[in-house]
Structure 1
Amino acid sequence: MLVVTRTPWTPDHIARVEEPRLPRQSRGGYVIEDVQRQLDRIAGLMRTGRPVPPISTAAFRRARFSEGYAPAAVHALLAHVAGWQREMDEQAREQADEVEQAAEAAPAADERKLNWTRQQQVWVREMLFARRTGGRAYAVDEVDDFLDRVLLAMAKGEPLPDVQTALFYSPRFGRGGYDAIAVDHFLDQLTRLRPAL
């Protein structure tokens, strides 16, 4: 899994690039403008939290007849920048690994099955409701379907269906159904049912 993060350059990193303490030499050094242009580019990347790619000194011209930055000092500064970038890349990789490990571990925790006992399953399976007609009854097939979903969840070791969202309609005119008060009482008991540890 790829985690894209900003490179956390500190004000100290940026200051050391923007205000370099580079000694100068009278001849043979790197042209100051060339080095400064590259350092400005590096500082811009740092200020926006972007990574700094490896910097080559091959493009720096030598100042033959004028003052320039001492090459050894420029190389040392760029080596420091490269070292800082390596450290931050390593930290980012470690953080990405931690995130990936946490993501892999999370499903494992969710995969733990709940332990619904045989006694609990028998209680649901053998539940009998009194029959009645009229508005105080629930349609038999709807209640039975819900009980089937409860039993299936128990068999798979999953959480039970949400009782709060269970909706049962009255039976069709002229047909009997399950006593609504008895079913509601059963649902209240079901909400308090917990899996065995």
Structure 2
Amino acid sequence: MARTPWTADHIARVENPVLTVQQRGGYVVADVKRQLDRVLSLMRTGQPVPPISTAGLRRSRFREGYSPESVTALFDNIAEWQRQFDMTQQIEEAAAPEDPKQTQQRLTWSREQQVWVREITFVSTRFGSSYETDQVDDFLDNVLRAMANGEPLPDIQSAKFHMARPGRGGYDAAAVDHFLDQLERIRPLR
């Protein structure tokens, strides 16, 4: 897997984002920070950053939150940086001679399959069975990375997530398990 050459400037702009705060209706600050922490962990290790969705971000009703416009603009900037790196890599790969063994071994995952995984959202719950959100998100990042690189999916049967601490909240365990069952059934195009 090719490393993404994230610069200190990219990392600094995500570590210290310029986000507008609004009194009501903005995204919950903790949710945005959790997303940015995931992005930073990928950047610091030179890994690609999959597109970030705002679908899982909660809106703050009575407290200050980040304005949706500023959060969306930051997420769009990160996606554009990744797109530029990907384009540069594709150009370099096209110029390099192909290894016939490697070409035969690459899997082809459809765009629809990748979008389905990227856009999945789980309901957060503080009551009942729920999984730690970071662990589920990290697993989904690994699935997307495998699809993007034409690799087999991580072993779904061995995916284990810790239960969220009571009162802290996490992703509904039944919904995550159902998604994993569906994910296990999909196959690459070739």
TM-score normalised by L of structure 2? 0.51
Alpha-carbon distance in structure 1 between the residues aligned to 2:97 and 2:37? 36
Partners of 2:97 and 2:29 in 1: CA distance: 45
Counterparts of 1:62 and 1:23, CA distance in 2? 14
1:67 aligns with 2:67: no
**Aligned-pair distance for 1:69?**
0.3
- Report the counterpart of residue 3 of structure 2 in structure 1: 6
Residue aligning to 2:49: 52
Equivalent of residue 82 in structure 2, options 67, 82, 85:
85
Q: Partner residue of 1:20? A: 17
Alpha-carbon RMSD? 1.4
The residue type equivalent to 1:48 in the other structure is: T
> Match of 1:31?
28
1:63 is paired with a residue of what secondary structure?
A: coil
Q: For the residues of structure 2 that align with 1:37 and 1:100, how far apart are their CA atoms?
A: 41
The amino acid of 1:95's aligned partner reads: E
Identical pairs, percent: 56
Larger Rg: 1
- Tell me the amino acid that sits aligned with residue 54 of structure 2: T
Once residues 42 and 77 of structure 2 are traced to their aligned partners in structure 1, the CA distance between those partners, rounded to angstroms, is: 15
Separation in 1 of the partners of 2:6 and 2:92? 16
Tell me the distance in 1 between the aligned counterparts of 2:92 and 2:12: 26
Alignment of 1:67-146 (within 5 A): 67-100=64-97
Alpha-carbon deviation of 1:98? 1.4
Deviation per CA, 1:76-116, whole angstroms, max 9, x where unpaired? 00000000000000001111111127x79xxxxxxxxxxxx
In structure 2, distance between residues paired with 1:89 and 1:42: 16
TM-score w.r.t. the length of structure 1 is 0.49
Unmatched segments (≥5 aa) in structure 2: 101-190
Tell me, what secondary structure is at the counterpart of 2:56? coil
Instruction: State the Cα deviation string for residues 127-158 of structure 1 (Å, max 9, x = none).
Output: xxxxxxxxxxxxxxxxxxxxxxxxxxxxxxxx
Q: Which amino acid aligns with 2:46?
A: G
Q: Which runs of 4+ in 1 moved over 3 A?
A: none
Q: Match for residue 135 of structure 2?
A: none
Q: State the 1:54 CA deviation.
A: 0.8
Aligned residues: 100
Q: Secondary structure at the match of 1:76?
A: helix
